[in-house]
Structure 1
Amino acid sequence: MATTAEYRLGEFTFPRGWFMVATSEEVTSVPVGVRYFGEDWVLYRGQSGRAYMVEAYCPHMGTHLANNHTSYIVKDKEHVEGESIRCPYHGWRFGPDGKCDDIPYSPAAIPKAACLKSWKLIERAGCIWTWYDPEGGEPDYDLPAFENYGAPGWVNWNVRALGELASHPQEIVDNMADKAHLGPVHGSIDMVLFENEFDGVTCRQILTAGHKTLAGDGSEPMTNDTWYAGPGILQSVMIGEYPSHMLIAHTPVDDGVVKVWYGLLVKVPNDTPTEADRAIAAGYEQAGVDAFAQDFEIWGNKRACIHPMMVQGDGPFHKVRIWYKQFYNPRERAAEFQGRVNGRMVTKGTQQDPWTEAA
Structure 2
Amino acid sequence: MATTAEYNLGDFTYPRGWFMIGLSSDATQTPLAVRFFGEDLVLYRGASGKPHLVGAYCPHMGTHLAKNTTSYVVKDGEHVQGDSIRCPYHGWRFGPDGQCDDIPYSPKAPPKRACISTKKLVERAGCLWFWYDEEGGEPDYDLPEFEGYDEPAWVNWNVRCLGELDSHPQEVIDNICDKGHLEPVHGSLNMELFENEFEGHVARQILSAGHKTLAADGGEPMTNDTWYTGPGILQSKMIGEFPSLMLIAHTPIEDGKVKVWYGLSVKVQNTEPTEEDRALAAGYEEAGVDAFAQDFEIWANKRPCLNPMMVEGDGPFDKVRIWYRQFFNPRARAGEFQKRVNGRYVVRGTNTHPWDNAA
Provide TM-score, normalisation by structure 2.
0.99
| Cross-structure match for 2:276 | 276
The 1-side partners of 2:133 and 2:225 are apart by 28
Separation in structure 2 between the aligned mates of residue 276 and residue 217 of structure 1, nearest angstrom: 25
Q: What is the CA distance between 1:350 and its match in structure 2?
A: 0.3
Code of the aligned partner of 2:151: A
* Alpha-carbon distance in structure 1 between the residues aligned to 2:241 and 2:211: 14
Identity %: 74
Distance across 2 between alignment mates of 1:54 and 1:358: 52
**Aligned residue number for residue 326 of structure 2:** 326
Aligned to 1:86: 86
Contact 2:209 2:222 in 1 (8 A): yes
Deviation of the 1:358 alpha carbon: 7.0
The corresponding residue for 1:200 is: 200
Deviation at 1:110, TM superposition (A): 1.0
Q: 1:311, 1:348 → 2: CA distance?
A: 11
SS of 1:144's partner is coil
> What is the CA distance between 1:218 and its match in structure 2?
3.9
* Matches of 2:300 and 2:178, distance apart in 1: 17
Aligned equivalents of 1:72, 1:358: Cα separation in 2: 70
Letter in 2 for 1:61: M
**Is residue 312 of structure 2 the alignment partner of residue 312 of structure 1?**
yes
Aligned counterparts of 1:208 and 1:247: Cα–Cα separation in 2: 19
Cα pair 1:99 1:115 within 8 Å, conserved: yes
CA drift at 1:109: 2.4
* Secondary structure, aligned partner of 1:41: strand
| Map 1:119-130 → 2, pairs under 5 A | 119-130=119-130
Letter in 2 for 1:76: D
8 Å contact kept, 1:2–1:167 = yes
Give 1:104's aligned residue: 104
Aligned: 1:20 with 2:12? no
Q: CA RMSD in A?
A: 1.0
Q: Distance in 2 between matches of 1:312 and 1:22?
A: 39
1:260 is displaced (CA, Å) by 0.4
Please give the alpha-carbon distance, in whole angstroms, between the structure 1 residues aligned to 2:6 and 2:50.
39
In structure 2, runs of 5+ residues without a counterpart are: none
Residues 157, 263 of structure 2: 8 Å contact kept: yes
**Distance in structure 2 (CA, Å) of the matches to 1:328 and 1:71:** 41
Query: Do the aligned residues in 2 keep the contact of 1:65 with 1:87 (CA within 8 Å)?
Result: yes
| CA distance in structure 1 between the aligned counterparts of 2:239 and 2:109, rounded to whole angstroms | 62
The one-letter code sitting in structure 1 at the alignment partner of 2:173 is V
Deviation string 1:250-296 (CA, Å, 9 cap, x unpaired) is 01100000000000000111010000000000000011011000000
Runs of 4 or more above 2 Å deviation: 216-219
Deviation, 1:217, is 2.9
Q: Is the 8 A contact 1:209 1:218 kept in 2?
A: no
- Shift in CA distance, 83/169, structure 1 to aligned 2, threshold 3 Å: same
Supply the distance in 2 between the matched residues of 1:138 and 1:264 (Cα, whole angstroms). Answer: 29
Shift of residue 108, structure 1, vs aligned partner:
1.6
Q: Deviations over 1:124-157 (max 9, x none)?
A: 0000101100000000000001121011100000
Instruction: Indicate if the aligned counterparts of 2:31 and 2:43 stay in contact, CA closer than 8 A.
Output: yes
Q: Deviations over 1:64-102 (max 9, x none)?
A: 000110000000000000000000000000011110000
- Specify the SS of the correspondent of 2:10: coil
Letter in 1 for 2:153: G
Contact 1:235 1:247 in 2 (8 A): yes
| Preserved contact between residue 193 and residue 350 of structure 1 (Cα < 8 Å) | yes
* Aligned match of 1:46: 46
Contact 2:155 2:267 in 1 (8 A): yes
Aligned residue type for 1:191: M
Deviations 1:100-127 (A, max 9, x none): 0000001122111100000111100000
Size of the aligned set, in residue pairs, is: 359
Structure 1: how far apart are the matches of 2:129 and 2:269? 31
Code of the residue aligned with 2:27 in structure 1: it is V
| Cross-structure match for 2:164 | 164
**Distance of 1:61 and 1:284 partners within structure 2:** 50
Partner of 2:140: 140
Contact 1:186 1:294 in 2 (8 A): yes
